[in-house]
Structure 1
Amino acid sequence: MKIVLFCEQKYAINILQPLEVEANKEGGHSVIWYVQPKNIPDFPLKDEVKWTNSIQEIYDFSPDVLFVPCNIVPYYLPGVKIQIFHGYAAEKKDHWVIRRYFDTYFTQGPFFTEGFKALAKKYKDFEVVETGWPRQDWIYENLHTFDAEKNALLRKHRKSKLALYAPTFSPSLTSLPFIKEGLEKLAREKDVLLILKFHPLTRSEWMEAYRQLAEKHENMLWVEDHNITKYQIMADVMISDTSSTVYEFLLLDKPVITYKTIAKDIYWLDIQHPEDLPDAFDLVLQDAALASKRKWIIDNYDPYLDGKVCHRMLDAARDYISRHGVPKKRKLNLWRKYTSIKKFGKVKRR
């Protein structure tokens, strides 16, 4: 198959990369990345993969399939347009918005499959296949890759636990303006090294404030690596707010603390006061009820930590093409067409 990995935001790199690995492992595929130049001016994989920031080049490539973690893909591109999602944040309304750009949705687990199959019955112009989330394949391969690095960090800082603070970037949902003193108290009072890892879309002034905070505290570490999953694997506990990274961490069967999450169903410990963070840290490490809630998330959100997600995705794409052929474009209303053209521009059509 001719495959496009459609990378509009920097966070999508780690979601799409396992598909490149699996396609190369299978052989017989031609793979190209589309990298949005405005959002990703410096593509970290530029010397490792075939890529372009030209939509015209993608159109001329005439793909059979496009894998898309973000919300929009140009309707005029040929190929099966597949939504593979950028996380698990079911409480965010836009997770369930059907924008009509996609031929099929590859869902992460039973909870999402049920919801999108109900939407498929309503809209009648897309399919739903449960495959798991591609980032899980990378996690499966790297569950113990960073053990030595973690142990070295803990020895260096003379700590026994590693906590990851990974807030959302959304100004209306983030804990960043409120939780700083709680984080300082945690780092000061508990036997823990605190890693600060922020979303690339976080406001620059918040980034700088916390970078300076980490420089002042020997028990805090600021990291700018685009690969948050590495630090999720390394960490013993995660601190966040309303972010899909919460679910990614729970799927590793590890405890989470959030500050004033808007989630309706909470499968972790949520606190209302930043000063409660040190006590919350002690509690989540030993609470059996929270461990049971994590098991529910694993079973329903994404039970596919088996290293075979991307294989299922490629199989499902082949199956779609065998039944429907390769679509020349996606039929949309004028507003959706306008939105697509405004974002990605036009192409010279054959």
Structure 2
Amino acid sequence: MKTVLFCKRPYSFSILRPIHNESIRLGDDVMWYIDPEIVDRFPFKEDSHYTTSLQEIYDFKSDAIFVPGNVVPHYLRGVKTQIFHGLAGEKKGHFRIRNYFDLYLTQGPYFTNRFNELASKHGDFDVMETGWSKLDDLFLQKENFNTEKTNLLEKHEAKEIILYAPTFSPSLTSAEVLSDEIIALSKNKDYLIMVKFHDLMNEKVKALYHEIARSIENIVILDDPNISKYLILSDLMISDTSSVVYEFLLLDKPVITFKSSSDNIKWTNIETPDILCETVGAVMNSDINQEERKWIINNYHPLRDGKSAQRMIEAVKQWLSHNSVPEKRKLSFLRKWKVNKKYGKVKK
């Protein structure tokens, strides 16, 4: 199978990489499309076939295109396969059908059931539950960083690691309003606080935290685009309405959010910033939400064997066994115009 991995954002590297590795293992022909604006950050140049040219992708004439974003050019050949960039079903647009995709590969029953309803309504795409490729490493490497964690705690003379991972959306992020509370939390030297920003976080906010970290030894800013290792290393997460909350919960560890808009809050959520420090202390002492987390695990991503990328590839090949390779998608004039404006045209 000739496969394209369609990558527009740095956070997609870790979503698509397991599919790349599994495809290579199977002997498939794989090409990455990397947006020119992020190619300098692409970490797999040495062992990957990649391009920044949509013309080259068009000429490649793929059988399948895996897309963690919302849009893919309609004129590219292949099964246009939506694999999602997060687990936050409450976020605006997660269940919006934009007509670009032939196949939706879902993470768990919560998503599968909704997309099956939409498939029945629209009638021009299929849905298969495979799990999410990004989480393969999370499940397979759970025990790989024990020594690194021990060394980190010894270096900072701390007892627990707290990961603060706010979302970037101005209407949802807690980054600015919690900055003073993160400083206050750092006064407890038992805590090593690691801060991981979304790729699209406001630069002024990032600069604020870098300034804070320069003067506080137990606050560390993470620059690695792949958050999985830090989810494994951490004992507790602080966030807001971010998809990464669910990734952490799938490791069966406690979360505290600030004003989360989730429809399925199975963790500790606070509405005022001034109680953050005492809430962290309480949750560290008593993990009261452990039973509730089981609902998230069972409904959001029950497949925990680290083989989601394998299932994704198998799902596409199964689809192709019953359908011809799509040469393009039928779109409205307006959507075609938007694609051409965003990506440009290719020579056919």
* TM-score (norm. length: structure 2): 0.97
Is 1:228 equivalent to 2:227 in the alignment? yes
- In the other structure, the counterpart of 1:20 is 20
Deviations 1:215-266 (A, max 9, x none): 1111111111111111111100011111101111111111111111122331
SS at 1:195 equivalent: strand
- Aligned 1:235-314 pairs, distance under 5 A: 235-287=234-286, 289-314=288-313
Aligned length: 348
SS at 1:3 equivalent: strand
Whole-Å Cα distance in 2 between the matches of residues 335 and 230 of structure 1? 42
Return the letter of the residue paired with 2:273. Answer: P
Instruction: Give the superposition deviation at 1:287.
Output: 4.1
- In the other structure, the counterpart of 1:56 is 55
Contact kept? 2:79, 2:316, Cα under 8 Å = yes
SS at 1:128 equivalent: strand
Identical positions, percent: 48
SS at 2:47 equivalent: coil
Where does structure 1 lack aligned partners over 5 or more consecutive residues?
Answer: none
Contact kept? 2:254, 2:287, Cα under 8 Å = no
Deviations 1:83-118 (A, max 9, x none): 000010011121010000000100000110000000
Contact kept? 1:181, 1:275, Cα under 8 Å = no
- In the other structure, the counterpart of 2:123 is 124
Whole-Å Cα distance in 2 between the matches of residues 32 and 109 of structure 1? 28
Is 1:111 equivalent to 2:114 in the alignment? no
Contact kept? 1:5, 1:67, Cα under 8 Å = yes
Contact kept? 2:157, 2:189, Cα under 8 Å = no
Instruction: Give the superposition deviation at 1:273.
Output: 2.2
- Aligned 1:95-174 pairs, distance under 5 A: 95-174=94-173
Instruction: Give the superposition deviation at 1:41.
Output: 4.0
Instruction: Give the superposition deviation at 1:284.
Output: 2.3
Return the letter of the residue paired with 2:284. Answer: L
Whole-Å Cα distance in 2 between the matches of residues 278 and 176 of structure 1? 15
Where does structure 2 lack aligned partners over 5 or more consecutive residues?
Answer: none
Contact kept? 1:136, 1:304, Cα under 8 Å = no
Deviations 1:148-171 (A, max 9, x none): 111111001111100000100111
Whole-Å Cα distance in 1 between the matches of residues 307 and 42 of structure 2? 26
Is 1:5 equivalent to 2:37 in the alignment? no
Whole-Å Cα distance in 1 between the matches of residues 239 and 313 of structure 2? 33
Return the letter of the residue paired with 2:26. Answer: E
- In the other structure, the counterpart of 1:80 is 79
Contact kept? 1:189, 1:278, Cα under 8 Å = no
The range that moved more, 218-227 or 122-131, is 218-227
Whole-Å Cα distance in 1 between the matches of residues 186 and 39 of structure 2? 33
Instruction: Give the superposition deviation at 1:40.
Output: 4.3
RMSD between aligned residues:
1.2
Return the letter of the residue paired with 1:22. Answer: E
* TM-score (norm. length: structure 1): 0.97
